[in-house]
Amino acid sequence: MTGITKPNSKSSNIVEAVQTARDAFNRGVTRPIEWRRKQLNSLLRMYEENRNAMIEALHKDLRRSKMEAVLLEVDYLINDLKNTIHYLDEWSAPEKPPKGIVNILDKVVIYNDPYGVVLVVGAWNYPLQLLLLPMSGAIAAGNTVIVKPSELSVACAQFVAETIPKYLDNEAVIVVEGGPQETTELLKQKFDYIFFTGGTNIGKIVYEAATKNLTPVTLELGGKSPVYIDNTVDIFVTAKRILWGKFINVGQTCIAPDYVLCTKEVQDKFIEAAKKVLKEWYGDEPQKSPDLCRIINSRHFSRLQALVDASRDKIAIGGTYDANDRFIEPTVLSNVTGTDKIMQDEIFGPILPIVTIENAYEAIKFINEREKPLVLYVFSTNDKVVSSLVDNTSSGGMCVNDTVMHMGVETLPFGGVGSSGIGAYHGKATFDTFTHKKSCLIKNFAAIGEKLASGRYPPYSESNLNFLSTLMRKRFGPSLKFVPYVLAFALGAGLSYGIFTWQKMTSEDL
Ligand code: NAD
């Protein structure tokens, strides 16, 4: 078995791929930390040696600019991987949690165990980052991995399929190419963990397939991420931050601001600022700007074209498109209502509707009447307003006074809630995602421990019950983990005092 199965491969190839990965895991290939480190370093070399190839593939698929390709995918992957390699020993080491008085003589350990064979299924919008980042986390945690790129980002899928086998262990990391048919075939196999990025509807299919084997999942899904703006903000900076988050990858971003909620007064100011910003960024003919991506394929183009056409009377900015170029102009819609077509599904394109409301209370109500979003954006300098949105809404994450930037904070787990997903990753959370926390109590045969616990054996008695109940009672005193240090300190202090007294006595004798 090589490290790749071809598109439209027969199901036997998929079965063989999963079996190869399982055999490798069962042989213990991926367990040693040194093996993992070697693979991760090789992956880092792959990123560094293929920087241009990655940028080119992203340009081919999405007409992605170099700036967005490097910042949002290539460098993002490199920095995440360097972080994982740096912390690999620390993250994979057994953990020693605090223990109670009952276990004072025992060892209490949490082992960071790999799950086994992991399936990673990627989406097309960030076709490298969303596939390779979880893959590297799965390797770091000691799993073997089947990697399935999205078939829609053709150039990136080809890059992954051709390049991974040159750098990584071909039996432990296997790329399976293909679309729904191959993914369906893959989902019939037994995996120990499934990590899926994509739309909510396909996420449900993946979840259903996973339940058949009780396979744990991470589902990184989408949805409509709202932005609330109040009247306390710097509207020009606010417009820049929202429009940047919306128009990178021309809105084909899971955490792109989907729609804006604000008062009529803020809407007018926002549109005025947005007109200036967009002209400054993309000029009078945005189609000629090298900084705007294209829609991934004609199916998605037609979907977005229909949304623009259905909103003709509400276009405040933009509204043009060109099917031959799969280009849609950055478009802002005003006075949209919750029942409009544009508000029914995730937009996933360069159209930003504004829904007017009266205040933060109405915004909260509007948000809570809909599915839980992947992220909620709030623009306000009023702490009370921010707190009321934090406290009274549920979303995968939040970002205040900016958009998208929260996903760059590696200590913030990234994921959805409700229909926007299950689980989270990034930084250590990625390693933990692919790690089973195996709890272990280790006792010895010392007589004192056996004596103390012997009251648990029959014949049962009231006195033994009382003794054990007292021993086991939950106490919230100082942490016992400092007891050995306190004892060592006391011993040291006692010894010093003894030596000092003895020296004093002998010098007096002289
Ligand atoms: P998608 O759900 O159409 O496809 C995702 C993957 O599922 C692809 O690899 C595809 O081959 C596979 N697939 C498609 N149909 C299938 C089927 N019937 N059975 C089994 N597998 C199938 O998603 P997409 O269009 O690639 O990505 C867009 C969606 O993903 C948006 O909703 C977006 O919000 C979401 N997304 C979420 C995140 C996140 O991190 N939460 C990131 C990117 C995209």
Tokens of residue 471, six digits = 């021993």
The H or E element containing residue 205 is: helix 200-212
The alpha-helical segments, DSSP class H, found in 213-337 are 235-247, 264-282, 298-310
pLDDT on residue 492: 79
CA of 68 to the centre of ligand 1 (A): 21
Rounded Cα distance between 347 and 259, Å, is 9
Q: Are 329 and 283 in contact (CB under 8 A)?
A: no
Catalytic residue among 254, 262, 293, 399: 254
Q: Whose CA is nearest to atom 1 of ligand 1?
A: 198
Low-confidence ranges of the chain (pLDDT < 50): 2, 7-9
Identity of the residue numbered 82 = K
Segment 48-81, tens digit of pLDDT: 999 999 999 999 999 999 999 999 999 999 999 9
**Distance from the first to the final alpha carbon of the chain:** 86
Only one residue has tokens 């508000």, namely 343
Q: Whose CA is nearest to atom 11 of ligand 1?
A: 179
Rounded Cα distance between 63 and 55, Å, is 10
Q: Are 146 and 471 in contact (CB under 8 A)?
A: no
Q: Are 131 and 147 in contact (CB under 8 A)?
A: yes
DSSP annotation of 171 reads T
Annotated active-site residue 399? The verdict is no
pLDDT on residue 479: 66
CA of 125 to the centre of ligand 1 (A): 9
- Given the DSSP bridges, would you call strands 226-229 and 331-336 parallel, antiparallel or unpaired? unpaired
SS3 category, 437: strand
Residue in 119, 202, 205, 406 to alter for ligand 1 test, most ligand atoms within 8 A of Cβ: 202
Sign of CA dihedral 245, 249, 250, 252: negative
CA of 448 to the centre of ligand 1 (A): 59
Annotated active-site residue 293? The verdict is no
Question: How remote is the C-alpha of 238 from its chain's centroid?
Answer: 26
DSSP annotation of 429 reads H
Tokens of residue 430, six digits = 């990625």
Q: Residue 56's closest CA among 132, 170, 153? A: 153
Residue in 183, 185, 420 to alter for ligand 1 test, most ligand atoms within 8 A of Cβ: 183
The residues that bridge with 358 in the sheet, in sequence order, are none
Q: Are 417 and 221 in contact (CB under 8 A)?
A: no
pLDDT on residue 480: 64
Q: What is the dihedral of CA 139, 150, 254, 120, to 10 degrees?
A: -20
Identity of the residue numbered 136 = S
CA of 464 to the centre of ligand 1 (A): 59
Segment 282-335, tens digit of pLDDT: 999 999 999 999 999 999 999 999 999 999 999 999 999 999 999 999 999 999
CA of 337 to the centre of ligand 1 (A): 28
Counting from 1 in the atom list of ligand 1, the atom nearest the Cα of 178 is: 11
Q: 243 to each of 248, 282, 353, how far by Cα in Å? A: 8, 12, 12
Name residues contacting ligand 1 (CB within 6 A).
121-125, 130, 148, 150-151, 179-180, 183-184, 197-199, 202, 205, 220-222, 254, 346, 348, 374, 416, 421
Rounded Cα distance between 278 and 239, Å, is 10
Rounded Cα distance between 174 and 5, Å, is 8
Q: Are 319 and 349 in contact (CB under 8 A)?
A: no
Q: Residue 107's closest CA among 99, 115, 116, 119? A: 99
Q: Whose CA is nearest to atom 42 of ligand 1?
A: 254
CA of 128 to the centre of ligand 1 (A): 14
Q: 195 to each of 119, 133, 423, 465, how far by Cα in Å? A: 6, 11, 9, 47
